[in-house]
Amino acid sequence: MSDLIPGEAIIYTKANGVIYGKYRDKPHSEIPRWIVGGDPVAVARAKGEILSYLEFNKMQTLAMEYPALKEQLEQLRTIYYMIKND
């Protein structure tokens, strides 16, 4: 949420590593909560992302040690290039 409503109280809650904001008073309390911040991996999951940037980087590092993971990432890259131009 980029534009906050001036003068309105916000309640902050934390769930599963994600910090959310929500307006306290009506009628603005009807606005759904929004993500304010938190653990990057938890925020990525809350947004519906499959992998966070941190997890992807860790996978690339592990792929150097584990040939099976490297092969899978290479296949994923091939699929990505096949569909990205569609």
Extract the tokens encoding 49: 């992302």
In the chain, which residue ranges form alpha helices assigned H by DSSP?
40-46, 53-63, 67-84
Residue 51: pLDDT above 80?
Answer: yes
- Report pTM: 0.69
Summarised one tens digit per residue, pLDDT across range 57-72 is: 999 999 999 999 999 9
Angle formed by the axes of helices 67-84 and 53-63, nearest 10°: 130
Extract the tokens encoding 8: 């309105």
Q: 65, 47 in Cβ contact below 8 A? A: no
